[in-house]
Structure 1
Amino acid sequence: MITSFDDYCIHQTSQPIAEPSQSDRNFYDRYWFNGIQPDGDWIFEIGFGLYPNRRVMDGHFSVAIGDKQYAFHGSRRAPKERGETVVGPLSIEIVTPMRAIKVSLAPNEHNIECELLFTACSIAHEEPKNLMYDDGHVIMNNSRFTQMGYWEGFFSIDGKRYEVKRAIGTRDKSWGVRPVGEPAGGAPGLLNNDPGVYWVWSPVNFGDVATQFGTFEDRDGHPTQVSADLVPLYDNPDDIPALEEPGVIKMTEAKHTITWNKGTRRAAAAQMHYEDKDGNSWNVSAEPIQRFYMLGIGYNHFEWGHAYWKGELETGREEWNFSDVNELDYQFLHTHQVIKATMKDSKGVTRQGIGTLESIVIGRHTTSGFKDFFDGAE
């Protein structure tokens, strides 16, 4: 099927652009963004995904304000044109590739709206590929980049308007294969013998530089993937290098420690230690100041999960009071938290920053003291 994108010199396979290079039904292309008020009073997040082999496109906009979180969800039959990134009233517009992206949620029956512009202040920094097998079958194989920036615009909830002025932003873009949508049939995979996941990810804006850290660990706390980098930030987007960033410092060692809130799997504090090949070191201490539950943008959601077929076009609204949330409910285990961070390096420089601490721990994790599938910290 030929579409307008086939007119560009961007082909990576012999197929038209509308046809993925593989038939895996979980092939996807996805945007994620967040925006943080520096005092942590609110955080908004956007998720937007295309699943061409499932013929689904979905999008979400969610805001945590004080002790409450609101969410808009939308899902539709996927369009063939890759430039059509619209789900009902929610749209993503690439104003300038890798530099400016506009997110709009037009007036709608759910009374959640936004008009927001993300402007980059760093390169789009490629992270390690995620590759995971289950009994010889690839269940995750994707690429991702992360980029720092700032937001301008507004969002509104039930008619109350919140101005967004230089809110601290992070975005990522990922594509490939990962578990999404309704589960596959047939015999269960071998991972069901000891199921679980441990993932911690933390981009932090320190003004002139950002730290980017991420790790998967096995059930006994051994890293199966870990990376950390120091990435320069720019006041003027025109100063951002076009492709490679010579100022990136890649860490040869990255360690972390999480302290968990009692009775939960939500982080109460975090410590990171990084070292580069020359022996320079950086220590980061992070204090969460606001929480955000990822089911607000479809993660682990039983009804609005990523790539679920909802019909030709469906939209919905949800809200949660944090005091009513059962934090050991599977749907609420995956969290982002706004963090205040202090970074001290081996040269005596101290920086203050604001960022995101993502964590999801399902199943046994010996290092954290989790013994069962959903037990909380002691």
Structure 2
Amino acid sequence: MLTKGDEYPLHQTPEPMALSGGNRNFYDRYFFNGYSADGSIFFAAALGIYPQLDIMDAAFCVSIDGKQYNLRASKRMGSERLDLTVGPITVTIVEPLEKLRITVAGNDSPVTADITITARHQPIEEPRFIRREGPRLMMDYTRMTQSGDWSGIITVDGQDIDAANCRGTRDRSWGIRQVGASESQPPPAGEFPQFWWLWTPLNFDNHACFFHSNDDGDGVPWNRRGVVDTITGTAEEFEPKAIDLTYHSGSRRIKQVQLETGTGSLSITPRTGDAARTFYMSGLGYLHPVWGHGMDHGEIEVGHDVIALDPAPAIDMTTIHIQALSDAVLTVDGAEHRGVGVVEQLFIGPHATSGLTGIMDPAA
């Protein structure tokens, strides 16, 4: 089963590139976000490859004027992993680890785009994510993360938006996590008995800063790391022992995050009080009941919708996973740096150290 990928000297096993081991949950994914500092526009994109399922899907979303426009597409890929076009959405690697382009051709939705992200620093390799539920391997993957500057044009309902004043983050992850249709026999505790995920990619004029934490139900981290990059090539890792955070009462949304970085401190204030500054990850397929990652929609399918941005939505699987545009203050050796980024949050189940109980019970 030879494909275009076999022309490249990238083989890791004796198998052709079309094969990716024996785990049906293997995936390979691109993610992007971008935003203006004033929050007037937020956009995001993703493209996922699921070799064992022979599916590739993609999405492009724009939040503007109190609405989130979601465009999604899926195809059966015929084992060809290098054809990064799904319906109207294409990802082009212009220069590896430096520059990537996203195009959204004309389609039935009101959204098109031709934008490029240029890296601000070398990518950060996050620690490998390995998690089991009892004896079952639930995830085993690697992610690299990189901040960048955007250029190009996004068009929404005939309005051209220049992305040149936007910064953002892109990542690449690959490995094993649950994709496609639900398993016929999930773990006894269920597929999502508990998952606490906090991810904070932030942009400053002279720095990029990343922090993430996966915690168990007791609030003990099983994967936690931070990096402060000076953009000039010096990256300092940190792993704080504690996170000082608060939630908005009656929700599971973060109000404030503070932590120590070793050479200073980091304070992040999500703009979750303003609906227009909150992006629903379900737009990209995350936890979406129909457009979940790796779902089979036939040879090719394209769909779109528009949702209103609600400052206080009901807590369910389509609203629990968000990225909130956030203000940040980074202190390095006594000097303060102000920037903008996101706080991605997915909190399912209990988290004892911050007071969350139940599966989706809101904070007090």
Q: TM over 0.5: same fold?
A: yes
C-alpha distance in structure 2 between counterparts of 1:193 and 1:155, whole Å: 37
The letter for the 1-side match of 2:137 is: V
State the Cα RMSD in Å.
Answer: 1.7
Q: How does 1:241-260 map to 2 (within 5 A)?
A: 247-253=234-240, 255-260=242-247
State whether structure 2 residue 59 is matched by structure 1 residue 68. no
The answer as to whether partners of 1:3 and 1:80 remain within 8 angstroms in 2 is yes
Please give the per-residue CA displacement for 1:153-195, whole angstroms capped at 9, x wherever unaligned: 1112222221111411200000010011111113x31443981
Q: How does 1:67-86 map to 2 (within 5 A)?
A: 67-86=66-85
C-alpha distance in structure 2 between counterparts of 1:304 and 1:118, whole Å: 26
State whether structure 2 residue 358 is matched by structure 1 residue 375. no
1:16 aligns to what SS in structure 2?
Answer: coil
C-alpha distance in structure 2 between counterparts of 1:311 and 1:108, whole Å: 18
Q: CA deviation at 1:282?
A: 2.3
C-alpha distance in structure 2 between counterparts of 1:211 and 1:331, whole Å: 28
State whether structure 2 residue 199 is matched by structure 1 residue 201. yes
Q: CA deviation at 1:24?
A: 0.8
The letter for the 1-side match of 2:66 is: D
The letter for the 1-side match of 2:4 is: S
The answer as to whether partners of 1:226 and 1:254 remain within 8 angstroms in 2 is no
- For 2:8, the equivalent position in structure 1 comes to 8
Worse-matched range after superposition: 41-50 or 319-328: 319-328
The letter for the 2-side match of 1:26 is: N
Q: Alpha carbons of 1:272 and 1:64: their partners in 2 closer, same or farther (altered >3 Å)?
A: farther
State whether structure 2 residue 271 is matched by structure 1 residue 288. yes
- For 1:160, the equivalent position in structure 2 comes to 159
State whether structure 2 residue 347 is matched by structure 1 residue 349. no
C-alpha distance in structure 1 between counterparts of 2:18 and 2:257, whole Å: 42
Worse-matched range after superposition: 357-366 or 257-266: 257-266
The answer as to whether partners of 1:201 and 1:358 remain within 8 angstroms in 2 is yes
The letter for the 2-side match of 1:285 is: I
2:190 aligns to what SS in structure 1?
Answer: helix
The letter for the 1-side match of 2:25 is: N
The answer as to whether partners of 1:69 and 1:320 remain within 8 angstroms in 2 is yes
Residue identity (%): 32
Q: CA deviation at 1:296?
A: 0.6
1:255 aligns to what SS in structure 2?
Answer: coil
Q: CA deviation at 1:92?
A: 0.4
The letter for the 2-side match of 1:352 is: R
The answer as to whether partners of 1:229 and 1:249 remain within 8 angstroms in 2 is yes
| TM superposition outliers: structure 1 runs of 4+ over 3 Å | none
C-alpha distance in structure 2 between counterparts of 1:119 and 1:193, whole Å: 37
The letter for the 1-side match of 2:325 is: V
Q: Alpha carbons of 1:175 and 1:167: their partners in 2 closer, same or farther (altered >3 Å)?
A: same
C-alpha distance in structure 2 between counterparts of 1:328 and 1:4, whole Å: 44
Please give the per-residue CA displacement for 1:280-334, whole angstroms capped at 9, x wherever unaligned: 3323233426110100100000011100111111111111112387341122100
Q: How does 1:1-378 map to 2 (within 5 A)?
A: 1-20=1-20, 22-186=21-185, 188-192=186-190, 195-233=193-231, 247-253=234-240, 255-275=242-262, 280-288=263-271, 290-323=277-310, 326-345=313-332, 347-378=333-364
- For 1:238, the equivalent position in structure 2 comes to none
Please give the per-residue CA displacement for 1:206-249, whole angstroms capped at 9, x wherever unaligned: 11111111101111111111101111325xxxxxxxxxx5x111
Q: CA deviation at 1:377?
A: 1.8
C-alpha distance in structure 1 between counterparts of 2:315 and 2:60, whole Å: 23
Q: TM-score scaled by structure 1? A: 0.91
1:30 aligns to what SS in structure 2?
Answer: strand
The answer as to whether partners of 2:2 and 2:18 remain within 8 angstroms in 1 is yes
Query: What are structure 1's unaligned runs of at least 5 residues?
Result: 235-244
C-alpha distance in structure 1 between counterparts of 2:10 and 2:207, whole Å: 32
The answer as to whether partners of 2:147 and 2:203 remain within 8 angstroms in 1 is yes
C-alpha distance in structure 2 between counterparts of 1:116 and 1:23, whole Å: 36
C-alpha distance in structure 2 between counterparts of 1:370 and 1:282, whole Å: 25
1:361 aligns to what SS in structure 2?
Answer: strand
Q: CA deviation at 1:364?
A: 1.5
The answer as to whether partners of 1:89 and 1:106 remain within 8 angstroms in 2 is yes
Q: Alpha carbons of 1:184 and 1:159: their partners in 2 closer, same or farther (altered >3 Å)?
A: same
Q: TM-score scaled by structure 2? A: 0.94
- For 1:239, the equivalent position in structure 2 comes to none
The answer as to whether partners of 1:228 and 1:254 remain within 8 angstroms in 2 is no
Q: Alpha carbons of 1:194 and 1:310: their partners in 2 closer, same or farther (altered >3 Å)?
A: closer
C-alpha distance in structure 2 between counterparts of 1:296 and 1:194, whole Å: 20
Equivalences, count: 360
The answer as to whether partners of 1:340 and 1:352 remain within 8 angstroms in 2 is yes
The answer as to whether partners of 1:215 and 1:227 remain within 8 angstroms in 2 is yes
2:318 aligns to what SS in structure 1?
Answer: helix
Please give the per-residue CA displacement for 1:98-127, whole angstroms capped at 9, x wherever unaligned: 111110000111121111011111111100
The letter for the 1-side match of 2:2 is: I
Q: Alpha carbons of 1:134 and 1:287: their partners in 2 closer, same or farther (altered >3 Å)?
A: closer
